[in-house]
Amino acid sequence: MKFRHTKENAMKSTSAGRRRLVAAGALGLAMATSLAACGGGADSASGSGAFKIGVIVDQSGPVRTVSAPQLVGLKAAVRAVNDGGGVDGHKIELVIRDDGSDAAKGVAAFRELVDKYHVTTVTGFTSSATIPGVVNFAEQSKVSMLAAGVPGDLLNPVNPVVFTTVASINAQGTAAVDYLKTLVDDGKLPANPKVAMFHYSSPAGESWKSAVEPYLKEVGFDLVASETAAVGAPSYSAAVEAIVAAKPDAVLLTAAETDLINMMKSAQAAGLDPKIPIVNYSFGSGATALEGVSKLGFTDYVASTPFNSSGDNAGSKAYVDAIAKAGGNPNQVMVPEGYAQVQMIVDVLEKCGYPCSSDKFLDIVGDFDSDLGGLAFGPVKYDDKQHFGPTSVAFLGWDDASSSAKPVKSGIPLAGPAS
Amino acid sequence: MGTGTGGIGAAGSRVLGFAGATQRAVGARWILRVAVLVVLVVLGISMLDDYQQQLVVTTMIYGIAAIALSVLMGWVGRPSLLTAASLLAGGYATVYLDDNLDLPFPAVLVGVTLVGALFGLIASLPARRLSGLYLLLSTMALFYLISDIGNIVQSKHQVLGGYFIESPTIGEKVLTQGTTWFVFVAVVTFAVLEYFTYLRRTRLGRGWIAIRDQEAAASVTGVRVGGSVALAFALTTAAQFLAGALFAYHLSTVSYTSYTLHMSINFIIMVVIGGLGRPVGAMIGAGIVTLVPSWMNSTFGDATTSDTWLTRNLGALESVVFALIGIAVLLNVRGRLKRRRAHMLSESADAVGDTGDRTELRGVSASYAAGETALDKVDLNVPAGQTVAVVGRNGAGKSSLLHALSGFPERSGGRVVAGDVRIHAEDRDTDLRSLSISERSDRGVGLIPAEDKVFAELTVREHLRDAIAAGAVRAKRNGSNPPTLEGILATFPALHGKLDRRAGLLSGGERQQVALAAALARQPYLLLVDEPTLGLSPVAIEGLEPILEEIRRSVPGGVVLAEQNPALAMRLADTVVLLEGGRVVRVAAPDDDVLEFIEERFLGLTALVGNEHHEPAAATRDHGITP
């Protein structure tokens, strides 16, 4: 009895297993159908006569607060171009994908843009987490990446498809030292000033330090403190107090807007001289950050930027108009970076003509030289030896009189591949 | 001798025959699974383009990690936030073995898996002492530790974009591209799925389930809890390291920035969506978590130059979609709808008018998750107003019979697999099988379990207050008099002076009285009482007997009493049912003959009790027992 009973159970179990297998098969088919939907509508606009540009940004991940203004700049620029009749009579169409700063999502998005939409180039790329995973496929498919968050090791040695549209963090670091040199020349700092520096305990921060530290020695400055802490740390007091205790004549920082005010409040509490020059990289160059630090009483805080959002030139004025028309804030950090990406693409498309294949675009962008109508503080250059893009930066400070961000020093050259 | 040998030979051939049948069944199932895999892979190759295959590859790699997590959480009961860190560490191990030691691709995969097993053993150390939320927090700490080490090492090496990995090649063919990679990952995923499915059927897998359900009891039954948990961590982490290696090759790079706590949480979402402890479900969860964002991106992200609400809120919408799916799974919406449909069908189909109000089981078989048969084609009739005593030895199926009526608790794994469980009352027929435990309770089925019958922290008054409130609702619905505290205390005078005492501080007999009082206050239609005298002194039993008598008179649908004390059962019951090995072996009115027979069985005086397990049914027939 027991034997028969157990056998029956085994048979029931087999039959249940079969049902599960059939269900698994059906699910597989259902997933295949949904996958088809994932790629649906592909290439539908290829006959519409528009240039298709892929955009990969972080709309749902940790970098979305930085991606959002970049996307505002990108969209505003495209709208302005299209309102003006497009490029060579052809409008630009952005195909936007979210990578959530997730490498796998980024790779999938890139493949979709290339395989399905046959985009001419892909831009955006706020997050450095996504770019390395995409590079292999970009190289195979000969699609250029005009990216904001390019890790330094993809620029040196030069990668054929990776182009940075913003100043590299290392180059910004050495430019900050050059800025201090101008203060020495102006007599605002002693001949061999004591310099303290703070960098994030991240690969980017370490890279910045590796460029700045030897350069400080090379120019004869005295490095009195080098402190570090994590991105988004709840407190920077320990690092800041160590810097204050070293009694520096100037401070070099890598502090994002989200950490900057926290850090400067700690500096205020620790008794840092409010007249001391404090030099930050571009993530601290937004009007909000500049004003916030100024309100804490630090009068000589500046941050680097490669783009002139308030200049008296055609490029800057067009920028302000386009952003205002799109309802954005031209002084917000990363808005000019997004806008500039589209301007670079437009410059290449004008030379490429319609239609512009991705490999033709790659050839042309590989020999690029433009100051974007004055929007950039100097030429943006790519050639077969380097893809560093912006060649000079300005340092912005807060102007209380006009209640706006103003360049304190401009035309500081950015070092190339050597840094 | 000859007979003996022949007997053994027959038994042996039966065993061999059974083994062969089982082997054939398992073999056929395995072949079927391989066939499904082949069909799906062929469909994938022919129907999906490169981009879609890329999505499926990501799904499968995530699926491997999710299967491992599902096993750890669902089978062993150990939650973990370590998954993303395991993938990261697997990726780093891949870089080391591939780049530094220059091992060939297959050796890298094997090496990474072994390193993962070792890592899992180390990661299991906190799990020996911790469980639940505390273990979750400790795995989170371990996640941050690994992530921070990744940051420090990458910073030291100044690899901002992470470590690059060369694609492995076979001849001139790059393995990690296109269809070759798709097929390879599909085969590896299938192997991992099959391996864990196989493990579930082994002693190790059963041990994990036992640990999850009741660690102390598992330990008593010989399961080495520490060793089993360590092995679970080792095997699941090994699978996640393997997934980490595949992911590293898939992306051609490894960086700590890509493996966030959010990613670990996503894996928990996959497991929850797929149903805890279901490897195939974990794959489905991985598919949903991977494909939904891509689908949303494709559908809503393509916003050209216009800034829409949808494009700005894709991340939030993804979270909402996952949350809705997760809630639906957690609330078992599918099961509820199924039960509701079955209930509606049975309500509309049945017309009662036959033999009066009653509760009945017809041909009911019940089993537990591991396959143990608890009830075998049991028939039982409880006429309204009568008391049926179910007697039998430990393990005879008494509690399972009560649970067949009240519903099996979620974690018990028990379920009715065949037969009908119905209440016919007031021209209304209710199929209890289609109802959840709470719905049966709402229908008036009350159960007093043998253990854990009171809430230790609540006072007697709090117990009764809650029960009276529930009883008042039922009374209003039925048009009867609502229960009152005074009325209850009149039946249970011993509780009068102990109203403000915590139930946990009462004696066994007093706790039983509290449980009975609360049950009575709820005004049940049918009351099920499991071992009311278990562990009570003779004096306490004597005090309980008149109360049970009182209850018997006041519960309209009747009382089912599971009791080991046959004499007490005889005094209280209208009918006595004797259970043995999950089968009803005798149904009779209580009398001395029945009592004598039962006591002989309990005392093990008859030879039939000591014989082979399948013999009693036949033997009992010889003794005049009604099957």
Interface test with B, best of A18, A67, A83, A96 (most B CBs within 10 A): A96
Residue B87 pLDDT > 80 = yes
For A162, phi and psi rounded to 5 degrees?
A: -105, 125
pLDDT in the model for residue A124:
93
Distance between alpha carbon B552 and the CA centroid of its chain, in Å?
A: 34
**B589 and B451, same structural domain?**
yes
Three-state helix/strand/coil letters over B183-213: HHHHHHHHHHHHHHHHHHHCHHHHHHHHHHH
Does some domain include residue B334? no
The domain boundary, picked from B242, B260, B278, lies at B260
Measured CA to CA, the distance from residue A377 to residue A374 in angstroms comes to 7
Question: Please, what is the angle between helix B261-274 and helix B50-70, to 10°?
Answer: 80
CA distance A380 to chain B (A): 23
A350 in the Ramachandran plot: left (φ > 0), alpha (ψ -120 to 50) or beta?
alpha
**B256 and B360, same structural domain?**
no
- pLDDT for B210-252, tens place per residue? 888 777 777 777 778 888 999 999 999 999 999 999 999 998 8
Please tell me if residue A268 touches chain B, with a CB cutoff of 8 Å. Answer: no
Which of B 334-363 lie inside 8 A of A, CB atoms?
none
Measured CA to CA, the distance from residue A87 to residue A314 in angstroms comes to 18
Give chain B positions within 8 Å (CB) of A138: none
Measured CA to CA, the distance from residue A126 to residue A4 in angstroms comes to 66
Residues of chain A with pLDDT under 70: 1-48, 416-419
Among A157, A281, A273, A278, residue whose Cα is nearest residue A209: A281
Pairing of strands A194-200, A222-229: parallel
Does some domain include residue B315? no
Measured CA to CA, the distance from residue B109 to residue B111 in angstroms comes to 5
Which of A 100-129 lie inside 8 A of B, CB atoms?
100-105, 107-109, 111-112, 115-116, 127-129
Residues in Cβ contact with B549 at an 8 Å cutoff, skipping those fewer than 6 apart: B572
**B244 and B357, same structural domain?**
no
Please tell me if residue B258 touches chain A, with a CB cutoff of 8 Å. Answer: yes
Q: Tokens 């706020």, residue?
A: A126
Measured CA to CA, the distance from residue B495 to residue B460 in angstroms comes to 8
Which of B 304-323 lie inside 8 A of A, CB atoms?
304-307, 311-312, 314-316, 318
The interface pTM score, or ipTM, of the predicted complex is: 0.71
Does some domain include residue B357? yes
Does some domain include residue B304? no
pLDDT in the model for residue B621:
35
DSSP output for A14-48: HHHHHHHHHHHHHHHHHHHHHHHHHTTTTTTTGGG
Give chain B positions within 8 Å (CB) of A83: none
- Are A197 and A223 in contact by the 8 Å Cβ rule? The answer is yes
Reduced to 3 states (helix: H, G, I; strand: E, B; else coil), residue A299 is coil
State the number of CA atoms in the 13 A half-sphere of B10 facing the CB: 6
* Residue of B15 and A279 predicted with greater confidence: A279
- Cα B454 to Cα B181, B467, B515: the distances in Å are 58, 12, 6
Nearest C-alpha in B relative to A51: B304
Report the mean per-residue pLDDT for chain B.
Answer: 81
Around Cβ B165, how many Cβ atoms within 10 Å? 22
Cβ-Cβ pairs closer than 8 A, A with B, add up to 216
**B256 and B361, same structural domain?**
no
- Are A285 and A405 in contact by the 8 Å Cβ rule? The answer is yes
Please tell me if residue A1 touches chain B, with a CB cutoff of 8 Å. Answer: yes
pLDDT in the model for residue B188:
96
Q: Does A100 sit within 8 Å of B315, measured CB to CB?
A: yes
pLDDT in the model for residue B343:
60
* Residue of B319 and A236 predicted with greater confidence: A236
Q: Does B52 sit within 8 Å of A38, measured CB to CB?
A: yes
Reduced to 3 states (helix: H, G, I; strand: E, B; else coil), residue B90 is helix
pLDDT in the model for residue A68:
87
pLDDT in the model for residue B5:
40
Identify the H or E element spanning B494.
none
The domain boundary, picked from B197, B232, B260, lies at B260
The domain boundary, picked from B260, B287, B307, lies at B260
Give chain A positions within 8 Å (CB) of B261: none
pLDDT in the model for residue B613:
44
Give chain B positions within 8 Å (CB) of A78: 304-305
Q: Does A10 sit within 8 Å of B22, measured CB to CB?
A: yes
Residue B626 pLDDT > 50 = no
Does some domain include residue B98? yes
- Are B230 and B128 in contact by the 8 Å Cβ rule? The answer is yes
Q: Structurally, how many domains does chain B consist of?
A: 2
- Over residues B171-175, the mean pLDDT reads 79
pLDDT in the model for residue B315:
67
Give chain A positions within 8 Å (CB) of B161: 128, 131-132, 151, 153-154
pLDDT in the model for residue A317:
94
Give chain B positions within 8 Å (CB) of A6: 18
Give chain B positions within 8 Å (CB) of A10: 21-22, 25
Reduced to 3 states (helix: H, G, I; strand: E, B; else coil), residue A251 is strand
CA distance A103 to chain B (A): 6
Q: What DSSP character marks residue B152?
A: H
B304's tokens: 């050209």
Q: Does A38 sit within 8 Å of B302, measured CB to CB?
A: no
**B519 and B399, same structural domain?**
yes
pLDDT in the model for residue B618:
41
Q: Does A94 sit within 8 Å of B305, measured CB to CB?
A: yes
Q: Tokens 């991985």, residue?
A: B286
Q: Does B164 sit within 8 Å of A108, measured CB to CB?
A: no
Residue B36 pLDDT > 80 = yes
Q: Tokens 């001949």, residue?
A: A191
**B227 and B91, same structural domain?**
yes
Which of A 303-362 lie inside 8 A of B, CB atoms?
326
Q: Tokens 């085969």, residue?
A: B187
What are the residues facing A93 on neighbouring strands? Answer: A52
Instruction: Find the DSSP H helices in A103-236.
Output: 103-111, 131-141, 169-185, 203-218
Q: Which domain holds residue B248?
A: 48-260
Which of A 136-165 lie inside 8 A of B, CB atoms?
136, 151-154
* Residue of A347 and B408 predicted with greater confidence: A347
CA distance B448 to chain A (A): 31
Give chain B positions within 8 Å (CB) of A95: 302, 304
Q: Tell me, what CATH number does B431's domain have?
A: 3.40.50.300
Does some domain include residue B247? yes
CA distance A48 to chain B (A): 13
* Residue of B376 and B25 predicted with greater confidence: B376
Angle at B152 between CA B146 and CA B156, to 5 degrees: 145
Does some domain include residue B134? yes
Which of B 593-622 lie inside 8 A of A, CB atoms?
613-614, 617
Residue B373 pLDDT > 90 = no
CA distance A73 to chain B (A): 11
CA distance B257 to chain A (A): 6
Does some domain include residue B206? yes
B63's tokens: 């699926």
- pLDDT for A125-135, tens place per residue? 987 778 888 88
Give chain A positions within 8 Å (CB) of B58: 104, 107-108
What are the residues facing B387 on neighbouring strands? Answer: B559
Please tell me if residue B33 touches chain A, with a CB cutoff of 8 Å. Answer: yes
Please tell me if residue B398 touches chain A, with a CB cutoff of 8 Å. Answer: no
Reduced to 3 states (helix: H, G, I; strand: E, B; else coil), residue B473 is helix
Nearest C-alpha in B relative to A42: B298
Of B49, B158, B252, the CB nearest to A133: B252
B530's tokens: 């499991």
Measured CA to CA, the distance from residue A182 to residue A176 in angstroms comes to 10
Measured CA to CA, the distance from residue A276 to residue A273 in angstroms comes to 6
Measured CA to CA, the distance from residue A165 to residue A123 in angstroms comes to 9
